[in-house]
Amino acid sequence: MTLPSHVDHLVVGAGFAGVALAIGLQQDGEAFLVIEKDESLGGTWWANTYPGATCDIPSHLYSFSFAPNPDWTHAYSPQAEILAYLEKVAAEAGVLDRFHFGVELLEASWDDEALLWRVRTSAGELTSTTLINATGGLSAPKLPDIEGIETFAGHLFHTARWDHAVDLAGRRVAVIGTGASAIQVVPAIQPEAGHLDVYQRSAPWVIPRGDHPFTTAQKRRWRRFPALQRAYRARLYYSHEALVPGITRWQRLNAPAERLGRRNLAKGVPDPELRARLTPRFGIFCKRILVSDDYYPAMSAANVEVVTDPIARVTPTGVVTCDGVERPVDVLIVATGFHATDPPIRHLVRGRGGRTLAEAWSGTGMATYKGTTVHGFPNLFSVLGANTGQGHTSVIVYIEALTGYVRDAIRTLRRGGYAAVEPRADAQARWNADIQRRMRHTVWMRGGCTSWYLDDHGRNPTLWPRGTGAFRRAVREFDVDAYDVRAAPR
Ligand code: NAP
């Protein structure tokens, strides 16, 4: 399918955000396209196929409110089921013919005379009135900066680029990292690996997951009585929301969660010496909370060594720690996260005056207005932009809220006969000052850890320091008063 020379709205990225936008824009009768660099739809759920990949947010909350799925098989769905759900939702909404797969954004520049975006992609050039970035914060894998890693002669891959051709059976495997991805991979591959070294830099908090299959009767009930499913989802939403005060303000409220984590550790790790090394040294929720019932038992297995000495370097045949020990490795798996605070798209998008997002953010770090628009970048929207997550609940709540805001912005453009909207610098500065003022009280800043939530300035540009309801209220309507608007050129 060739690209047209112009489209009203160009969405970049075909994950949950891209699909939500496509469905919303279609309902509004807008002309739009979605380009996606990967070969298929799904975003993170297409890319992350590592063994054990499962959502750590309950399925009935990690799904669109407008497309409930009574058929979720488990409380926490595996990757393939989430991907199938997203494909089904897009197909049933009839938007798939708007998606161009295998098309990468190379550069987008705002033309301040014609008042449109000039976009260069791997499949050709086009212009668009709005540019909607739906590329996600956790899409560019981050490789660890470890001396000699490029010399490793065995198999080496990131969890988000799993090499399924590599057989782990009986091999010496090493996993670097103990975050959300690693704690799912380790129990999944431990029974198969001959020997597994897990390199832990900081011990995470891990609370029980309590996954369980849904019964046929439950699924039948939800199908017949959608109100029951909505009530179930609402209960999940509010039970997650109850964590917000402890995370954002009063950390002593997190004591029960810490007790839960400690009990989970004690239950899963009988050896006191290993337990001590797996005990977190920071406040719970400071880093992304992890949920697992099988991580600690896997870490206690006879074929697993938990290595806590820092890594000094990687050699062609193994990993050397600072105590001088070299452990041989056949397969090296890096579970070291993503470029969350420095997404690659910041180098590709040029606003007024030719400045890239990276240049606009060089002094302050990533900052948007209401988590979506950016001063100096007319008609650019991100779903999701800065400070639009929390770690305690479903990101889809934020995706839906911002999709509504973008749709309202487009309606405002049409109603007012405007060609361009751009948030005023003072509105954006006030929005961010308020976020960072509130941020000071959060466990992310006071919990005694560093995490991917923080950028190189020690600032938190990723998370929302209030309840989810406050975010939804803030973006319920497009507040055109906070924007400079420009009429269409004659
Ligand atoms: P992550 O949380 O950033 O974890 C990276 C891990 O690698 C950390 O343990 C980190 O140690 C370690 N690490 C990084 N560089 C290292 C180095 N040079 N040497 C040694 N260790 C190093 O990444 P992730 O596990 O991929 O998860 C990222 C986010 O993706 C999650 O927080 C979550 O939001 C999302 N995710 C979600 C799911 C889901 O089920 N929904 C599943 C997977 C991921 P330190 O802790 O010491 O920095």
Cβ–Cβ < 8 Å for 243, 288: no
User: pLDDT digit string (tens) for 284-328?
Assistant: 999 999 999 999 999 999 999 999 999 999 999 999 999 999 999
Query: 206: closest CA among 147, 138, 279?
Result: 279
Whether the predicted pLDDT of 30 surpasses 70: yes
Helix or strand holding residue 125 (H, E)? strand 124-133
Cβ–Cβ < 8 Å for 233, 208: no
Going 378 to 423 to 135 to 175, the CA torsion angle's sign is: positive
CA dihedral of 168, 162, 338, 398, whole degrees rounded to 10 = -120
Q: Does the domain spanning 149-204+251-334 belong to CATH 3.50.50.60?
A: yes
Selected from 3.40.640.10, 3.60.130.10, 3.40.50.9100, 3.50.50.60, the CATH number assigned to the domain covering 6-140+339-487 reads 3.50.50.60
Task: Tell me how far the alpha carbon of residue 204 lies from the centroid of ligand 1, in angstroms.
Answer: 10
Instruction: Answer with the residue of higher pLDDT: 136 or 483.
Output: 483
Cα 402 to Cα 370: distance, rounded to the nearest angstrom? 9
Nearest atom in ligand 1 to 178's CA:
9
Could you tell me the pTM of the whole model? Answer: 0.95
Task: Tell me how far the alpha carbon of residue 391 lies from the centroid of ligand 1, in angstroms.
Answer: 13
Cβ–Cβ < 8 Å for 374, 357: yes
Q: Is 192 buried (19+), middle (13-18) or exposed (0-12) by CB count in 10 A? A: middle
**Residue in 201, 293, 388, 453 to alter for ligand 1 test, most ligand atoms within 8 A of Cβ:** 201
pLDDT for position 369: 98
**Residue in 74, 288, 291, 293 to alter for ligand 1 test, most ligand atoms within 8 A of Cβ:** 288
Q: How does residue 240 score in pLDDT terms, banded at 50, 70 and 90?
A: very high
Counting every residue written for the chain, the total comes to: 490
Name which residue sits closest to atom 21 of ligand 1, judged by CA. 177
Instruction: Mark out the alpha helices in 174-316 (DSSP H runs).
Output: 182-189, 216-224, 226-241, 244-248, 255-268, 272-277, 295-299
The Cα diameter of the chain in Å comes to 76
Mean pLDDT along residues 29-42 = 97
Q: How does residue 139 score in pLDDT terms, banded at 50, 70 and 90?
A: confident
Q: Is the CB of 58 under 6 A from ligand 1?
A: no
Q: How many CB atoms lie within 10 A of CB 135?
A: 26
Mean pLDDT along residues 367-383 = 98
Instruction: Mark out the alpha helices in 381-483 (DSSP H runs).
Output: 395-416, 425-439, 443-446, 468-474
User: pLDDT digit string (tens) for 171-206?
Assistant: 999 999 999 999 999 999 999 999 999 999 999 999
Q: What are the residue boundaries of the structural domains of the chain, listed by start?
A: 6-140+339-487, 149-204+251-334
Going 431 to 436 to 437 to 442, the CA torsion angle's sign is: positive
Cα 219 to Cα 242: distance, rounded to the nearest angstrom? 27
Q: Is the CB of 56 under 6 A from ligand 1?
A: yes
Query: 257: closest CA among 445, 391, 436?
Result: 391
Query: At 194, is the secondary structure helix, strand, or coil?
Result: coil
Query: At 65, is the secondary structure helix, strand, or coil?
Result: coil
Q: Residue 459 has which token pair?
A: 């600032």
User: pLDDT digit string (tens) for 140-170?
Assistant: 899 999 999 999 999 999 999 999 999 999 9
Q: What is the DSSP string of 16-54?
A: HHHHHHHHHHHHTT--EEEEESSSSS-THHHH---TT-B
Structure-token match 């199908």, residue found: 223
Query: 78: closest CA among 60, 50, 57, 52?
Result: 52
Q: Is the CB of 116 under 6 A from ligand 1?
A: no
